Every structure is written in structure tokens, then in C-alpha cells.
Amino acid sequence: MLQTLQAWDATEYEERAIAESPFNEAPVYESQEEPLREAPISEARGAASESWELQTPFISPEAMEAGEAGSAPSAEVASLAELATELKDSEFREALEQLADEALEMHADQLAGEYGDRESRDLAAERLLNEHFQPLAAQTEAMLDRFLGRVEGYETEALTEMEIERIVGEVLPTSQPMSPASEQFLGGLVRKVGKLVSSAAKTGLKLAGKGLALAGKLALGPLLGPLKKLARFLLGHVVKWALNKIPMRLRPLAQKLSDRLFHALGETHEGEAEQYEQTETENVPTAPDIGRLEAEFDLHAAQLLLTPDETEADHLVTTYGESADQADASPLRALDRARAELTVGLSRLQPGESAQPVMEQFLPAIAAVWPAVKAGIAMVGRPKVVKFVGGLLANLIKPMLGADSANMLAPAIADVGLKLFGLEAGEVDSHALASEALAATIEETVTSLGELPPHVFENETLLDTAVREAFEDAAATYFPSTLIKPELRETTDGHGMWLRMPVGSEQKRYAKYSQTPAVTITPRAAATVHTFGGNTLQDHLRDRMDIPPGRTIKTNVRLYQATPGTRAATIARAEGIRPQDLHPLTPQAAGALLGGHAGLGSHPTPPAHLAGPHKLHMRQRLYYIEPPNGRQHLHHRHHARLARTELVINLRKGEIRIWLYLTERLCQHIAAELGKTRNATTAFRLVKPLVQRAAHMLKAVILERHMPPTLRVISETPNLDARVPAWLTTIAAQLGAKIDEWASLQVAQYLSKNAEEFRRISATNHDGATLRITMTHIPGIATLRLVAQGKQPQALNGVAWLKGTPDFSVVAHPGYAIK
């Protein structure tokens, strides 16, 4: 039987809360508050269960799948599926992020103000960044004019992919210097437009009611205007993203489709998507994913080729510019105010005074601005949960309230190295120290509620347990170990703690550990510890720190933790480092590198947040490797790439493509080995880890709902939100093993027979080289196509459907050529 709040004795509740506090013994003050008399959470849930039950007018996913088995998707939907997938470009996504970071850094002084009217300040910041991008917007429009003017009038059969690539290189602006991010943005944008034109030329798609192919020649006039508008709107979205004005939880991309394509696709409606999200436990993101901006742009650009008339095309562009997902103000500003008010409220509490009123004021404030927390609290009705959680937190923090506790806390914080943050112990108010630590602990506890599945909010005992565990974890983070019970400490070393940064500002954007643990990175550890994008520390040390493979290094690491608003660039700007030099502090990395400090890396990081530092989640921990012996990172290689593997499975074409990007240093190492002997064994061993990544990313989708950006599947229906199709999870392990087998044989054969060609390409004036592996006539591809359409799933029983060897080609290109 559920224990209810009515059945609880307030004194017993308070004593149990304090007894289970994560803190060591401290003065405890008697409570004068009235016993809590609230209806049980389970009753609150039950009383409104009927009215809250989500009803949808759409057919169930099971019925939808059954319907798909009997009918093929329309030609438009199939074309959309291929176009939207092929337009993806990791370089373009990186360029959007770098554009935002460059703008913020250039105007840091004007944007740093914390005082004045918030609305006026936000409007001024947005106007400033929009003006910053005006020259780039003008260059973008002029470039698109040149490109479409060059290709218009071409005979459709003459406009090959190679010819489009040549024109792309010729229309890029060269008359005035640009930042690397601007160059990358313009190059990525014109490549996307080139893919649209190539698709139009090959398939004869219709645009705005007019044939793209007119008397055998391309007529692209209707495409130019809408594309120029989309590009300008995209830069406006980059501004909003830079200023944190884009909400983290966005509607499914299917909602961005025109009505006609939406119904043809048969996607679920927003309500169903929300219902799906509420049944899952997810890590709360710290900021919107920049990849979303690219995905929305690609989807709208692809639809321009599928719109039947000019009116629909204009509406499509207008809705992109006036996106309903755009917020009027940054939720982080409101969160900063709520946090500041919490800190002040805690600092004013007297010994024995209840903190519950302060808690009940803070909880709704943070729920109002933090979408994930709001969704969780809304499951059972905010007042009931606020009263319950507020009372629990008020009693959990009671041992740390009052002058005695504050005076005990101040020297403890000073003792763990406050000087590292630029503060002297004598300069800090003891009450302020205690209040800031408590505020950070409470905020992190509450934001953790956003990761709880809904059933926890329906059960008093489960919610009590979850809040206590989250509070213990947060307290162990923001208080010195000497004040935390031994069994809850992150490390046995009592001389370290986390502090919200920057110090002295209300706008806390990340946390930093007070110590820089010493590490020894052996070649074995470097080769086995993985970082973002599937790379290893060996890749990072070799290509970004210029440390030869096989060398053991001794250095120190700096540790960071993500909080609301944290981006890799945020930490990088504040710490004077580069975003690409940050690594995820996974349990594996912590165990291999930190020794006695390994507990600092106990927070797991799901694979969805390991694709790159652009997508962080709450409490995700990161580390930075200091250059050993005072060496500096290679500043001339600021944008140095790491090795990369991308995989595309195109069921429509019956084709699999793998790109292996080999960095300059890796290329030179491979070329040197190929020159020593005709035996390619050693050279293949250097490439083998990249080949294996293709199989690893396929196997990883079995555990994940979203596919990594390096894996793309093109079928008859678009996978707009990168969720893993059910059929792929069924065969991912088998297909991954076969792709590993096939690709390994092909690369080994290429290195054996084309050693001189590879050495010649490696000697060119390019940064590395790219191997492109293309497989056709693939065993089982027809079966996969049927299964993806919901037909003949029994055909996958056993492995007979994969027997055989595909036709293939391996081509080496100089430089980074993943397209």
C-alpha cells in the first residue's frame, strides 16, 4: 500500500530526512513548521487520470506498419527521403556552430552586460548579431546568383556531378578575405544547392509548376529566389541559436513538411510525439543541438523541388523564416534570475527557519523555464509535486543552514583551492559561500527530475528515493569531500570540489574542478580510450598535439561539468582553449586516466551525446589535456580534423558507401610503411580501426533510439528525426559484421595493388586523403528493401540472405572528400 503524505508524521519525516542527509554531522535545528497536510501524489494522479489521458485521432504505429506493407510510398516521399539524407554535411553543421562562436567572441564586450532591462538588452544583442551577418548574407545571395546562372541552360545530360563540383569551386567568392567559418559555410551551402540541381537534372522533378527540364535544358529561375530567402533565414536562426533563443525540445521534423507531404508520409502528429517522449527516460540537453538547424534547412530546401506551385513554395519559405519554434527570449536569463533569488533566499534564512517557502518559490520558477523539468512536474500536477519535493529538499539542506554551518563551510572551500579560481578566503562572505553551494546543489537536483520516467512521479516512495539520490549526487559535487559522508564521496582525495563558473557572475554556464589531476597516458591507453566522434586519444595526440604514436606522456588534465547553457565553445572561450580539445570524461576514460580520481568520471554518457562536443547533456563531464612540458597546441592547425568514418546504406540504389578520412600524419605514416615493403600488412593495420568503425556504429544503434550523424540510411520513407528503424535493429549486428568483412578485404586489396597511387596522393598539397568504398550488387539488399517496407520480415531468419560478395570499387581522393 502506498504511504501518503497525510499518513506521514512531520517530525518523523524531518528526522529521517536529516538522518539520510549526505553531509557529515553538523548542527541540527528544530523545525517550527506545521506538519505537511497534502493529498497523496497517487490520489492527485488518479483524480485527473481520465481528463489527462492523451487521445490521438491517428492510427496506431502497429496499424500504420500493417498498412505500409500493402502499399509503396509515393514517388515524392521517396524522393524526399533520398534528398533529405544526401544533403547532410558534417562540415556545414560545424560551420554553423563556428559562425555563432565567431560572432559571440567578436562582440563579447557588447554582449557581456548583466544589468538593465532584459528585453531591451536581448533585442540589442539580436540586432547586433544580425548586423554582423549582413555582409555574409549578401555574399551568399551573390554566390547563389552566380551558381544558378552558370548551370541554367545546361543540357541535363551534360550536368554531371563532376561538372557541378567544378562550377562550385569557381563560384566561391575570392575577392575579399573571410573567416574560415564563413568560407566553410559558403562552400557547404553551394554544395547543397549543387546536390539539389544534380537531383533535379537526373530525375526531372517539378518546381513551382514548371518543368526544371525545358526542351532538354535546365530552367532554374523558380529555385533561385526561395533558396536565397532560406539562406538568409538560416543565418537569422544561427543568431537566435547563439543567443540561446531556440528551445531545446522541438517539434518533430515531420511537422515542418507541407500538408501534402505530411499526409503522404503518414507521420504521427505532434501530440503522439510528445506522448512518446514522456514515456522515455532521457538525458536533459544543456542547449539546443546545432545539427537541428542544418536538418530544418535541408528539409525545406528538398521540399522546394517537390512543391507543385509557387504559392506553396512561398508558404514553405515563409514558415521556415517565421518558425513557431523560435522563442522570444532566452530561458537561461530567467533561470539566472531564479537562481540568484534562490541564493539570496537561502542566505537570509536564520537557524531553525524552514527553507520550504524558498524551495516552493524556486521549483515553479525553474520548471517554467526548463522544459524537461516542466514536463516531469506536469505529469501529476505542479502544486502537489512542488509541495512534496520542496518539503523534502528543505529538510535535506537543514544541516547546512545557519551561521555555524556557513562558518564551517568557508574555510573548507578555501582549503580545497579557492585561490585557483582567483579568490582569497578572506575576501569571501561565508554565508554567500554556503548559499551558492546549496543553490547549485538544489538546482542540479531539480533539473535531474527532467530525466525521470513518468511513473516515478506517480509513486511517493519512488519520487522520494529519486530526489534523495539526486541530492546526494549533487551535494557530493558542489561541497568539499570533507563535508560529505565517506560512502558518497566522488574521490578519496578531500582536496577538490566543483565550482560554478564564471565566479562573480549570475550567469553560471559550466562547472570546473578545483584540481588538475596528474595523468600518465600510455600508448595502450591512448589507443583504447575513445573520445568524441568515435576517435581515440591516439588520434587526438597525433593530429592535434603533434605527439608521435608510441610515446608515453605525463601531464595534467582540467575537468569541467556541463550545466544549463553549457556548450563546448562556452568553456573554450572562458578557459582560453579550443572546443575540439575537450573530451568526454566517460567511466572508461576516467578509469584509464585518473586513478584515484576515477570516481569523478562515474557519470555515464549515452552514445547519442558522444557524436561531438556540440551536443552535451546535463552533468556531462569533460576533460582537457594540458600540453606536456609546457608545449603549446598546434595553433596553425586550429581546424585540424581527426580521422573519420561515414557510412551510407542506400536501399533505393542498392548501394553501400563508406568514406574513410585519413589525416595528414596518418597518411604519411601509411605511405612510409607502403614504401618499405610490398607487404601492406602494417599499412592496413593503421587503417583497420577506421574500417571497423562502420561496423561498430551499426551495432551501436541496437541500444540507441537515434542514429549517429556518421550513419545514414536511405529508404523509401524519410527518417527525419534520426530514429533507428525497427528493421535495422534486427539485422544491425549481422550487417555490421558483413560490412566489416567486405570493407576489410577491399581496403587490404587496394593497399596491396595501389601502393604507388596512394603514396602519390599523400604527397600532394592537401590535408590527408579520403578512401571512398562503393559496394553494389550487394547480397541481401533486395531483401532489406522489402523488410524496410514492412514486407517479408521472415526473410531475415538466419544469415543465408547475406551470403556472397558485392561488387566494389575503392577510390582515393586527396584531402577531406566525404560528400
- Is residue 111, in this structure, part of any structural domain at all? yes
The gap from C-alpha 573 to its chain's centroid, in whole angstroms, comes to: 19
At residue 379, the pLDDT reads 61
Residue 55: CA count within 13 A, CB half-sphere? 5
What are the tens digits of pLDDT across the range 120-168?
Answer: 777 888 899 999 999 999 999 999 999 988 887 777 777 777 888 888 8
Domain check: are 471 and 534 in the same one? no
Return the top range by mean pLDDT from 100-104, 213-217, 493-497, 729-733.
Answer: 100-104
**Exposed, middle or buried, 774 (CB in 10 Å: 0-12/13-18/19+)?**
middle
**Cα-Cα-Cα-Cα dihedral of 16, 21, 24, 25, to 10°?**
-30
Same domain for 140 and 123: yes
The mean of the pLDDT values for the chain is 80
The pTM for the full model equals 0.85
**Within a domain: 378:** yes
Please tell me the predicted confidence (pLDDT) of residue 796: 67
Q: Rounded to a whole number, what is the distance in angstroms from the first to the last CA of the chain? A: 60
Within-domain flag for 359: yes
Domain edge (last residue) among 637, 657, 675: 637
Measured between alpha carbons, how far is 236 from 293 in angstroms, rounded to an integer? 11
Residue 18 in 3-state DSSP?
helix
Nearest-angstrom CA–CA distance, 49 and 6: 21
pLDDT at 410: 64
Q: What is the pLDDT of residue 625?
A: 96
Based on the domain organization, do 566 and 615 belong to the same domain? yes
Q: Is the dihedral of CA 763, 670, 629, 627 positive or negative?
A: positive
User: Which domain-ending residue is among 637, 664, 691?
Assistant: 637
pLDDT of residue 269: 42
Task: List, for residues 314-325, the tens digit of each pLDDT value.
Answer: 888 888 887 644
Asked whether residue 61 is assigned to any structural domain, the reply reads: no
Does residue 792 sit in the same domain as residue 727? yes
Sign of CA dihedral 721, 727, 730, 735: negative
If DSSP codes are grouped into helix, strand and coil, which group holds residue 54? Answer: coil
Buried b (16+ CB within 10 A) or exposed e, 672-688: ebbeeeeebeebbebbe
Identify whether residues 806 and 752 lie together within a single domain: yes
Q: Are residues 174 and 304 in the same domain?
A: yes
State which residues form the domain around 673.
Answer: 644-814
pLDDT at residue 154, rounded to an integer: 78
In a domain, 597, yes or no: yes
What does the pLDDT read at residue 308? 65
**Residues 780, 701: one domain?**
yes
Residue 498, domain member (yes or no): no
- Please determine, for residue 792, whether its predicted confidence score (pLDDT) is greater than 70: no
Q: 628 and 650: one domain?
A: no
Closest CA to 702 of 719, 722, 725: 725
Does 326 reside within a domain?
Answer: no
In this prediction, residue 760 carries a pLDDT of 94
**Of residues 360 and 775, more confidently modeled:** 775
716 pLDDT more than 60 = yes
Residue 129 and residue 202 in one domain: yes
Same-domain check for residues 308 and 179: yes
Phi, psi angles (nearest 5°) of residue 268: -70, 155
Residue 631: per-residue pLDDT:
55
Contact 674, 680 (CB under 8 A): yes
One domain for residues 691 and 809: yes
Domain stops at, among 587, 615, 637: 637
> Cell triple for residue 805?
560478395
User: Quick check: helix, strand or coil at residue 657?
Assistant: strand
The C-alpha cell 576514460 sits at: 589
Q: Render pLDDT for 367-377 as a digit per residue (tens, 0 to 9).
A: 776 766 766 66
| Sheet bearing 644-650, strands edge to edge | 711-714, 644-650, 655-662, 769-776, 807-814
- 656/507: higher pLDDT: 656
Domain count within the chain: 4
**What's the rounded Cα separation, in Å, for the pair 351 and 362?**
20
Same domain, yes or no, for 607 and 521?
Answer: yes
Q: Is residue 547 part of a domain?
A: yes
Higher pLDDT, 716 or 745: 745
Which range of 33-42, 212-221, 428-437 scores highest in mean pLDDT? It is 428-437
Residues 90-100: what's their mean pLDDT?
92
